[in-house]
Amino acid sequence: MRIYIFFIILLIYHTSEMFAQTPLDFTFSQNEIIVPRRNAPFDELKVYRGEISGDKLFSTNAILGKIVTEDIQLRFIPVIPFGQHQKYTLFYDGIIDYFTINIPNDYTYLTVQSIYPSDKMLPANLLKWYVRFSKPVNEAFIYDHIQFINARGDTLHNPILHIENALLSDQNTLLTIWIDPGRQKRDLSPNIKLGAVFKKNNSYTLIISKKLKDHQGIPMQQNFNHQFNITEADRIQPNIDFWKIQTPKADSKADLIINCEESLDYGSSLEGVLLTNSIEGTVPGNWKLIDHESVFVFTPADTWRSGRYTISFDKNIEDLAGNNLERLFDSDITNHANTGLNKKEYKIAFTIR
C-alpha cells in the first residue's frame, strides 16, 4: 500500500514538472508567434487550435507552420494565419500557455443584406431561397446554421437539401438554399411519407443562426429572422405572352420595364435575359428585379436608339415553385404532352421610336 501511494505521488510530481505553468513571455499576432529561446530543442515548439489540456496535448494534431530560429528567440509562422476570435494553445520547453487573437474594435461583422424571395406571401411548393451576405462567408457546415420554425415555434424536420459543397456564388456572398425537392414534388417517396415542407395558410420563420461565420471565422452578432406566410401551391408555369412591357422613347435613358405578373426565381432570372438590336448586337446596360422580383428593369448604358429590339429569355427562368418557361416542375417529363409551352425560343420584340 505504501509503495502504491509513493508511486502516485511521484507520478503527480513528475507531471507537474513536465507541464509547468511558468509564463513563456511570448508575443503573437495573426501571422506569427515570437518566443524567447530556452534550453529545449526548437522543434519542441508546438501550437494547437483550441484550449488543450496537458493530458490531451500529444494526442492532438499541431497546427502546421514554420519555425525560424534566431539568436535569442524562435518565430513560429503558421501556414494559415491564426483566426480572430479563436483560442490557441502554445507548448514549449514543457510549458503550456494559451492565447486568443482578439477582434478589432472597428471590425465590420457579417450581416444578411437581403433575402429572396422578398415577398411575404409564398406558394406552398416554394423551391429555393437566396441569401445575400455583406461579405464572404465560411462555407463549413453552413446549412447547419439554417432552420425553419412554424408559428408554434417548432423546428421543421429536414426541410432543406443538405449539399456537401455549399451553393455559394458571387465570391461566397450569395447562398442558395434548396427546399427538399423530393418533398415539394408530388408522388415522390419523401412527399408521400412526409408531405410538403410548407402547409397552406400557415406562417413560418427562416432563421439564420448568429453562429454562422464569415471567411475569417468570426460569427454574426445576432440571429437573422425572416417571417413569411404560405398560400396555395403554384402549378402554372410562367408565360412571356402575358408579360407587359413599358418601352422607353428614343434619345432617352429611361428604363425598359417588363412586368412578369408574378415573382420569379432570383437565381435563374437575372442571368437568363438578354436585350439585342440589329445595330449594336447586345445592348449594354444593367438588369435588375424589383417589386418582389416580379418586374425586370433594364437601365441602358447609353441613350436609346430608334429601331427594332429583341428580348431573349432563357428557357430555364423559373417562378418560385421551380416552374420554368418550358415545363412545370411538378410534371412528368416522360409525358411529352405535359411539358408545357415547349417553345424553341422565348423572345419579345418591340420598336423604339
Cell of 119: 415577398
Q: How confident is the model at residue 343 (pLDDT cuts 50, 70, 90)?
A: low
Mean pLDDT of the chain: 89
Same domain, residue pair 273 and 247: yes
Last residue of a domain, one of 68, 100, 132: 100
Question: In this structure, what C-alpha cell is assigned to residue 247?
Answer: 418601352
Are 81 and 14 within one domain?
A: yes
Same domain, 220 and 255: no
Same domain, 299 and 193: no
For 4-60, give the DSSP string. Answer: HHHHHHHHHHHHHHHTB------EE-SS-EEEE--SS-GGG-EEEES---GGGGGGS
Q: Report the CATH number at residue 33.
A: 2.60.40
Q: How many domains does the chain have?
A: 3
- What percent of the chain clears pLDDT 90, i.e. is strictly above it? 76
47 falls within a domain: yes
Whether residues 255 and 207 fall in one domain: no
Domain of residue 214: give its range. 112-231
Residue 286 pairs in a beta bridge with 299
Please tell me whether residues 120 and 201 are part of one structural domain: yes
Under DSSP, the state recorded for 325 is S
- In-domain check, residue 25: yes
The answer to whether position 106 is within a domain reads no
- Residues 252 and 311 reside in one and the same domain: yes
Q: Does 107 fall in a domain?
A: no
Domain harbouring 257, CATH code? 2.60.40.1220
Q: What is the pLDDT of residues 169-195, one digit of tens each?
A: 999 999 999 999 989 988 888 888 888
Same domain, 49 and 15: yes
Q: Is there a single domain that holds both residue 245 and residue 227?
A: no
105 in any annotated domain? no
Q: Tell me what percent of the residues of the chain surpass a pLDDT of 70.
A: 90
Q: Residue 204's CB: how many other CB atoms inside 10 A?
A: 20
Domain boundary among 48, 70, 100: 100
Q: What pLDDT sits at residue 19? A: 47
Given a contact cutoff of 8 angstroms between Cβ atoms, the answer to whether 248 and 304 are in contact is: yes
Is residue 248 within 8 A of residue 275, CB to CB? The reply is no
Taking only the tens place, the pLDDT of each residue in 188-246 is 888 888 888 999 999 999 999 999 999 988 999 999 999 999 999 999 999 999 999 99
Please provide the DSSP assignment of 117-170 as one string. S--SEEETT--EEEEEESS-B--TTGGGGEEEEETTSPBPSS-B---SS--EET
Domain presence at residue 335: yes
Reported as a single tens digit per residue, the pLDDT across 130-153 is: 999 999 999 989 999 999 999 999
Are residues 207 and 310 located together in one domain of the fold?
no
The answer to the question of residue 313 being in a domain is: yes
Whether 138 and 55 map to the same domain: the answer is: no
Residues 187 and 212 placed together within one structural domain of the fold: yes
Number of C-beta neighbours around residue 293 at 10 A: 23
Distance CA 51, CA 87 (A): 6
The residue out of 200, 231, 262 marking a domain boundary is 231
Phi, psi angles (nearest 5°) of residue 127: -110, -35
Q: Is the CA virtual torsion 254, 255, 258, 262 positive or negative?
A: negative
Judged by phi (left if over 0) then psi (alpha if -120 to 50, else beta), residue 170 lies in left
pLDDT surpassing 50 at residue 18: no
